[in-house]
């Protein structure tokens, strides 16, 4: 036991002597957590620039312009009477939309000729386009109803009857689970989990690969011939340090006022399984590929698209079947699926049974592969040492 504790101290020294590892393990979650938190802190998209081309210049079109200026989603960048060189301006100004009100618009409304307002959306940025579209529709539909009711009132209809004749039924939208549409609530937890998976992958990818490269593995093999001994030796420092990093990452949730419940047993279970699964995958690559650079490069191939493949921002049901099958066995996919059930829907352990099962399968397969592969490497190394002796 004394010897084992001595080796653990050496492991900590080797970890803290690796500046790249320290920067990845401690720096990335804190830096990216703060960075992404402040990026999405505004919570929703506002003041998207739009151009209004008013070819009618009438009192009604003046009301339309005023209505757009009162809407928080869009910001009237310019009101002009002809299109000008909009296509040439777009790379510089990047308008979210261009709204064209045709000539004779007021006269056509008064004569019930149903004129058309043209809205050209800039689809280069889908988030901005969808947000601008909702804001523009809200303004125009409200004005449309108002003009129709005013027309009926001018015909002598009682104001209440005019309103009721236009409005056959009411629509009431009730937003559930992130009812404010807060973007930081939606994005930040998923990004933090992706960062944690990536740093665990990369940190654990170095543990055995570094020993193979600098020859320290030969020294360790003399202490024990059992792979489980070496896995425990390499894992223990990270088992001690990773909970600290999860605590730092978890503190960003209350810091950025994200209203979700994550400090509970189901979430603790998910975090533990994601951590163990990521550690097993990282160590497996570290054993299989005796080069720190190659091991980290190959793990980046897995971790880089993990967030996109997780289904957190785009439903996995739309993926081709082979891609869905691969995505299912990336730990982050199962973690984020379970995360949403617990944090937003208030689910318990029974609601994440599927995610727990798949994460357990990932852990089981990678752990067995790691034990077998490391045992073979230990056997070969000891055999070589015996021959030299």
Choosing from 166, 197, 229, the residue where a domain stops is: 166
Q: What is the pLDDT of residues 2-51, one digit of tens each?
A: 777 888 788 778 777 777 777 777 777 777 777 777 766 665 678 889 99
Measure Cα distances from 252 to 136, 193, 259, 269, 345 in Å.
34, 12, 11, 19, 20
Pair (138, 108) in one structural domain? yes
Stretch 287-295: mean pLDDT = 83
Checking if the pLDDT of 117 tops 80, the result is yes
Q: Is residue 378 part of a domain?
A: yes
Classify residue 93 by burial, with Cβ atoms within 10 Å: 0-12, 13-18, 19+.
middle
pLDDT at res. 361: 96
Q: Is residue 76 part of a domain?
A: yes
pLDDT at res. 127: 73
Read off the pLDDT band of 179 (50, 70, 90).
low
Paired tokens of 104:
């004779």
Q: Is residue 94 part of a domain?
A: yes
Highest mean pLDDT of the ranges 15-19, 43-47, 131-135, 309-313:
131-135
Checking if the pLDDT of 296 tops 50, the result is yes
Of residues 117 and 155, the one with the higher pLDDT is 117
CA distance 386 to 389: 5
> Are 77 and 51 contacting, i.e. CB atoms less than 8 angstroms apart?
yes
Enclosing domain of residue 56:
48-166
Pair (208, 102) in one structural domain? no
Lowest mean per-residue pLDDT among 124-133, 247-256, 322-331, 347-356? 124-133
Residue 379 CB neighbours (<10 A): 13
Strand partners, 306: none
Residues of the chain above pLDDT 70, percent: 89
Pair (140, 258) in one structural domain? no
Lowest mean per-residue pLDDT among 164-173, 190-199, 276-285, 323-332? 164-173
For residue 53, give the DSSP letter.
Answer: E
Pair (258, 131) in one structural domain? no
Of residues 102 and 155, the one with the higher pLDDT is 102
Pair (214, 342) in one structural domain? yes
Checking if the pLDDT of 347 tops 50, the result is yes
Highest mean pLDDT of the ranges 170-179, 241-250, 318-327, 361-370:
361-370
Highest mean pLDDT of the ranges 152-166, 205-219, 292-306:
205-219
Residue whose structure tokens are 């894992």:
235
Helices 321-328 & 331-343 angle (0-180, nearest 10)? 80
Q: Is residue 177 part of a domain?
A: no
Q: Is residue 246 part of a domain?
A: yes
Pair (135, 188) in one structural domain? no
E-strand ranges in the chain read: 48-54, 74-80, 97-101, 118-121
The domain that holds 87 is classified in CATH as 3.40.1710.10
Q: DSSP secondary structure string, 77-128?
A: EEEESS--SHHHHHHHH--SEEEEEPTTHHHHHHTT-----EEEE-TTSHHH
Please name the residue ranges forming H helices in 155-215: 159-166, 183-205, 207-214
Closest to 319 in 3D by CA, of 333, 332, 331: 333
pLDDT at res. 52: 92
> How many structural domains comprise the chain?
2
**Cβ neighbours of residue 273 under 8 Å, at least 6 residues apart?**
331, 334, 335, 356, 359, 360, 363
Pair (222, 360) in one structural domain? yes
What's the distance, CA 383 to chain centroid?
Answer: 48
Q: What is the pLDDT of residues 359-378, one digit of tens each?
A: 999 999 999 999 999 999 98
Q: Is residue 266 part of a domain?
A: yes
Q: What is the pLDDT of residues 221-277, one digit of tens each?
A: 888 889 999 999 999 999 999 999 999 988 988 888 888 888 899 999 999 999 999
CA distance 371 to 128: 50
CA distance 297 to 291: 10
Q: Is residue 173 part of a domain?
A: no
Sign of the Cα pseudo-torsion (53, 58, 63, 69, in order): positive
Q: Is residue 172 part of a domain?
A: no
Checking if the pLDDT of 182 tops 90, the result is no
CA distance 347 to 345: 6
Choosing from 132, 166, 200, the residue where a domain stops is: 166
pLDDT at res. 169: 43
Pair (316, 190) in one structural domain? yes
Closest to 24 in 3D by CA, of 296, 360, 342: 296
Pair (142, 226) in one structural domain? no
Pair (342, 309) in one structural domain? yes
Choosing from 166, 192, 212, the residue where a domain stops is: 166
Pair (70, 8) in one structural domain? no
- In degrees, to the nearest 5, what angle opens at C-alpha 86 toward C-alphas 83 and 91? 170
Backbone angles phi, psi at 320, to 5 degrees: -60, 150
Pair (297, 321) in one structural domain? yes
């Amino acid at each position: 036991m004394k010897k084992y504790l001595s080796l653990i101290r050496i492991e900590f020294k080797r970890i803290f002597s690796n500046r790249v590892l320290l920067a990845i393990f401690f720096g990335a979650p804190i830096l990216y957590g703060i960075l992404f938190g402040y990026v999405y802190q505004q919570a929703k998209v506002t003041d998207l620039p739009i151009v209004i081309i008013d070819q009618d210049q009438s009192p009604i079109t003046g009301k339309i312009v005023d209505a757009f200026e009162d809407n928080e989603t869009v910001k009237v960048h310019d009101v002009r009477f002809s299109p000008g060189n909009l296509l040439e301006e777009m790379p510089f100004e990047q308008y979210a939309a261009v709204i064209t009100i045709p000539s004779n618009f007021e006269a056509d409304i008064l004569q019930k000729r149903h004129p058309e307002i043209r809205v050209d959306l800039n689809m280069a940025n889908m988030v901005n386009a969808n947000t601008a579209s909702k804001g523009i529709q809200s303004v125009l539909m409200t004005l449309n109803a108002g003009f129709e009711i005013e027309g009926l009132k001018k015909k002598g209809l009682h104001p209440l009857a005019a309103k009721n004749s236009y409005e056959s039924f009411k629509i009431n939208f009730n937003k559930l689970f992130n009812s404010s549409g807060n973007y930081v609530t939606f994005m930040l937890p998923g990004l933090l989990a992706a960062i944690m998976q990536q740093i665990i992958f990369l940190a654990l990818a170095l543990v055995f690969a570094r020993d193979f490269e600098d020859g320290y593995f030969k020294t360790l093999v003399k202490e024990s011939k059992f792979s489980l001994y070496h896995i425990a030796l390499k894992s223990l420092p990270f088992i001690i340090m990773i909970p600290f990093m999860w605590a730092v990452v978890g503190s960003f949730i209350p810091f950025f006022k994200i209203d979700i419940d994550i400090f509970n047993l189901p979430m603790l279970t998910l975090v533990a399984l994601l951590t163990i699964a990521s550690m097993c995958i990282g160590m497996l690559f570290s054993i299989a590929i005796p080069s720190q650079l190659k091991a980290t490069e190959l793990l980046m191939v897995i971790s880089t698209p993990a967030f996109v493949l997780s289904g957190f921002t785009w439903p996995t049901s739309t993926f081709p079947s082979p891609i869905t099958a691969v995505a299912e066995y990336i730990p982050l996919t199962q973690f984020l699926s379970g995360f949403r059930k617990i944090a937003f829907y208030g689910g318990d352990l029974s609601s994440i049974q599927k995610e727990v099962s798949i994460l357990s399968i990932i852990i089981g397969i990678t752990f067995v592969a790691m034990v077998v592969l490391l045992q073979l490497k230990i056997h070969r190394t000891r055999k070589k040492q015996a021959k030299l002796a």
